[in-house]
Amino acid sequence: MVNKALALLFVITIGSVLLAWQFLPEPVATPLIGGSCNVTMTEIVASAQGDVYAMDESAADYVAPDFLYLTSYSVEGDSITEPVLEDVPAALEPQQSDLALQQEAWQVFTTLIPPADRDMVVEFNVFTDGYSNTLAAVGQLSESPTDWMLEVDVADLEDKDSLIFTIIHEYAHLLTLNAEQVEPDQELVDDPFNPELQIEKGAACTYYFTGTGCSYKESYINVFYERFWVNLEEEWSAIDVMQYDEDASLEYYAALYAFYKAHQDQFVDDYSVTHPAEDIAESFTYFVFTPKPTGNSIKEQKIAFFYEYPELVKLRSDILNGACSLD
Ligand SMILES: [Zn+2]
């Protein structure tokens, strides 16, 4: 039995009581490709706006909701098959049995991402922790760490713009952490939240250590890290270790937010300061859904970074065409 909760890595968490939600003014709708497109880049980006680490007074009373798996699927090409229904409380059975909605979420993913770019995904899971909180996640399979699962929260599928943003963020993890980019490490997959193991593996890695493994020299994430993170590493690491102290989670979030405010010109949003792997994922998502930057701030350089790779420029175009074809 795979312990899926342990295999969970690189979640995108947005909203929740903990997280003050500050919507920007209504954006001007810019067509994605042409006049016939049903979604717009500005609305997709706007759906993800808000400072996730800016806490309000209710933060101290916040209790994370239960996280439950509803359904697991195998992936075969463009299709998901063999749904396995988990035991869930009766209240969740209607959501669990709505296989059509789960299919629809999977089809958003396959419409956005070309087949050859998602062949590492062999499993699709549907979970819920209620509205907002964790929206989606990816993780390696413990029985075969070169393979990955994509997971979505069934309670967060209604807002199509937000779902598109979230799926591209999760895809960016697959793009930057897959076996061609980062060497799969069975010990880390089996024991992902062990701080001592992380330190040991990090020390043995010549290039950037992602937390899931040692990156290759020419990997996107190593090049990104070398260019944008080396100067921040010491200050950020002192904050990052705080998350392992269960009594200090509020202090951790507050310190992370202060770090963001101190380096705001370097990050596309505050969630990006969570981890270099989150930074490259958010920057990639902005690369896809915002115009090519014209300025030279570090956050603009992070978006422009992906234009250095012709295969990613092609992928961006494919994703935008796919987004345009969604209902
Ligand atoms: Zn993420």
Helices 276-289 and 160-177, interaxial angle, to 10°? 130
Whole-number Å distance, alpha carbon 99 to ligand 1 midpoint, is: 25
Whole-number Å distance, alpha carbon 262 to ligand 1 midpoint, is: 22
Secondary element (H or E) of residue 172: helix 160-177
Whole-number Å distance, alpha carbon 86 to ligand 1 midpoint, is: 25
Mean pLDDT of the region 34-41: 71
Whole-number Å distance, alpha carbon 36 to ligand 1 midpoint, is: 31
Using a pLDDT cut of 90, give the percent of the chain over it.
72
Determine the Cα–Cα distance for residues 320 and 246; give it in Å rounded to an integer: 41
Q: pTM of the predicted model, to two decimals? A: 0.89
Whole-number Å distance, alpha carbon 62 to ligand 1 midpoint, is: 22
Residue 24 has pLDDT above 50, yes or no: no
Using a pLDDT cut of 70, give the percent of the chain over it.
87
Provide the residues around ligand 1 (an ion) whose CB is within 5 A.
10, 12, 278, 281
Segment among 34-43, 151-160, 210-219, 274-283 with least mean pLDDT: 34-43
Q: φ, ψ for residue 141 (rounded to 5)? A: -80, 130
Residue 129 has pLDDT above 60, yes or no: yes
Q: What is the DSSP letter of 159?
A: -
Whole-number Å distance, alpha carbon 108 to ligand 1 midpoint, is: 18
Whole-number Å distance, alpha carbon 90 to ligand 1 midpoint, is: 30
Whole-number Å distance, alpha carbon 7 to ligand 1 midpoint, is: 14
Residue 149 structure tokens: 């699962």
Whole-number Å distance, alpha carbon 231 to ligand 1 midpoint, is: 22
Whole-number Å distance, alpha carbon 12 to ligand 1 midpoint, is: 4
Whole-number Å distance, alpha carbon 173 to ligand 1 midpoint, is: 7
DSSP 47-97: TT-S-TT-B-GGGGG--PPP-EEEEEEEEETTEEEEEEEPP--GGGHHHHH
User: For the segment 157-198, what is each residue's pLDDT rounded down to a tens digit?
Assistant: 888 899 999 999 999 999 999 999 999 999 999 999 898 999
pLDDT given at position 142: 94
Q: What angle do CA 172, 306, 145 make, to 5 degrees?
A: 30
Segment among 47-61, 92-106, 230-244 with least mean pLDDT: 47-61
Which residues face 34 on adjacent strands?
A: none
Residues in the chain: 327
Whole-number Å distance, alpha carbon 236 to ligand 1 midpoint, is: 17
- At residue 22, the 3 state secondary structure works out as coil
Domain boundaries, the chain: 4-177, 186-325
Whole-number Å distance, alpha carbon 270 to ligand 1 midpoint, is: 12
